[in-house]
Chains A and B, each alone.
Chain A
Amino acid sequence: MNRRTLLGGLFAAASVPALSACAGGITSLDGEGGASGGGGSSKGGVTIGTANFTENQVLGHLYAAALTGAGVKATVRPNLGTREILIPALKGGDIDLLPEYQGALLHYLAPKATATEEGAMQNALTVALPAGLQVLPYGMAEDSDAFVVTRETARKYGLTSLADLKKQNGRLVVGAAPEVKKRQVGVVGLKEVYGVEFKEFKSLDSSGPLVKGALKKGDVDVANLFTTDTDIQANGWVVLTDPKNLIPGQHVVPLIADRKADATVRRALARLGNVLTTAQLTELNRQVDKDKKDPEDVATAYARRHGLLK
C-alpha cells in the first residue's frame, strides 16, 4: 500500500455514508450562522481522515498530535480508503482534514496539470480545489517517485542522475508497477524529457516486495520506488537525481475544509510541516512497518520530542 493506490480505488467510489447533508448549513450553535466567507473555526474539534496506507496514517496522527498541542480537539478516523472516498467525505463534512501529497492531489483534481515545481503546484492546487476546501502551506517532508539503482549498478554504469540513463539506452531493464509504463512520471516522460530508452519494462508492484526483490537480485537494473521507502537506505540504494524536474514534487500538504481552517489550526500544522523532514517521516514509517509499532504512539512520541505536544 502506498501513495499511488490512493489514486486508484476503482471499486471504492460508492461507499461513503450519506451523512453529507448538513455541511455549511445553519448548524452552528455559537450563533455565527454557517461557516462560509472568512475564516472557519476549530472550536468544535477537527476530525482527521487518513487513507489506507501506513504513511498516511502516521501523518494523520502527527496532525492530531500537533493540533492537540495547540489546544484543538482532534480525532483521527484512520484507514478510510482512497481519494474516491476521502474527498467526498471531506466535502460532506464527515471529516475536516486530510494529509495529502501535492503532485498526487493535483493529478487527481486536474489530470492535465503540467506544474511539477512546489510553488507552481501549490498555486495550481488552489485553483483546482472545489469550493469549501483549501490546502494549507506544504511541509518539508516529501514522498515522491524515485528511480533507484543499486550501488553496484550506479558504479558500473556511472549513474547519478536520470540524464545518465541515456548513455545506457537499450541496455537497462526497469521494474515498476504496471501503470508506470504508460505514465508521464514513468517510461513515457523518461523518454520525452531525458531521451531514455530501456531494454525492457517489467511489470511488478509499486514499491512493494516484488520490485524491491527484483532489484536486490539484479533482475531489474532500475526500480521505481518511493522516496520514503525504508529499504532504500537499508540497502544503500542510489536515488537518481532529476535535474529536469520530470517528477512532480510530492510534499505533504494539509487539505482542509474552509469551515475548520482557523489561525490556530494553520499555525499548528505549519509548525509540524517545518520540522518534519523526509528522513524523519521515513523513520516513522519504518517503526510502524518493520517494528510493528502503533502509528498513534509513534506520532505522539515524535510530537513530544519536537516540542509540538507537551
Chain B
Amino acid sequence: MYELFKNLGTWLTSGAQWSGGDGIAHRLAEHLQYSLLATLIAAAIGLPLGLLIGHTGKGAFVAINLASFGRALPTVGLVVLVFLASGLSMWPVYIALVALAVPAIVTNTYAGMTAVDPDVKDAARGQGMRGHQVLRQVELPLALPLIMTGLRLALIQVVATATIAAYVSFGGLGRYVFDGLAQRDLVQVLGGAVLVAVVAVVLDVALAGLQRFLFRHRTA
C-alpha cells in the first residue's frame, strides 16, 4: 500500500508525466474543454427552459419528470448508443454530458423561480410591470442563488463524468483511467482518478466562493 502511494506521488509530480501529448497538462486542458463546453451547452438549453416553466408555471410536470428521466439515463449506455449512430466523433461525448447536465440546471432554475414569494410578484405587477419585466427585474435576481447552485452542480457532475470521452478514443483525464485499467497499471488509474477528483473539488470551491462573493449582501 505504501509502495502504491509512493509510486502515485512520483507519477503525479514527475516533469515527464506533465508534458507532451499524453502529459497531464494536455489531458487536463482537454478535460476542462469538454466539461466547460458541455456545461455551457447544457446551460443554453436548461436555463431558458427552467425560467420559462418557472415564470409561466406551465409544463412543470412534464419538464421535471423529463429531467428525472434524464438523470436516470446511464451515461455510458448513451455514449455507445450515439456512437453507433454517429460513428467516431465528439457527438457521443457531448450529447451524453449535456444530457447529464441539463436536468440539474432545469430543476434548480425551476426551484429558484417557484421559491420567489408570490406576494413580491404580485406587488411587481401591481406597480405596472409587464411579464418580462417581472421575470428580469424581480424573479431572476431572486432566483439567482439557486440557479447558480444548479450550474455548479451540473459542472461538477460533468467534470466527474467527462472521463467517458476516453471510452470512445478521445482524451481528457479519463485516458489515464481507461488505459491504466486496460494495461493493469494501477498507479495510472489512481493518478487519473485523483486528478479528476481534485479538479472537481477545486472548481466547486471556486464557484462556491464566487457565489458567496456575488450574493454577499443577502441574508439568506
Chain A positions within 8 Å of B, measured between CB atoms, are 8, 10, 175, 177-179, 181-182, 202-204, 209-210, 213-214, 217-220
Contact = CB atoms under 8 A, between A and B. Distances in A.
A210 B80 contact: yes
A209 B84 contact: yes
Contacts of A204: 168-169
B29 interface: no
A179 B80 contact: no
Nearest to A177: B182
B166 A203 contact: yes
B168 A179 contact: no
A219 B87 contact: yes
Contact of B87 (A177, A182, A213): A213
Contacts of B184: 8, 10, 179
Given A203-B169, A204-B169, A210-B168, A178 B84 contact: no
A179 B179 CA distance: 6
Interface of B: 80, 83-84, 87-88, 166-169, 175, 178-179, 181-184, 186
25 contacts: A8-B182, A8-B184, A10-B181, A177-B182, A178-B181, A178-B182, A178-B183, A179-B182, A182-B183, A202-B169, A203-B169, A203-B179, A204-B168, A204-B169, A209-B80, A209-B83, A209-B84, A210-B83, A210-B167, A210-B168, A213-B84, A213-B87, A214-B169, A219-B87, A220-B88
Contacts of B167: 210
A214 B169 CA distance: 11
Contact of A214 (B87, B183, B186): B87
Contacts of B182: 8, 177-179, 203
B179 A178 contact: yes
Contact of A178 (B80, B83, B87, B178): B178
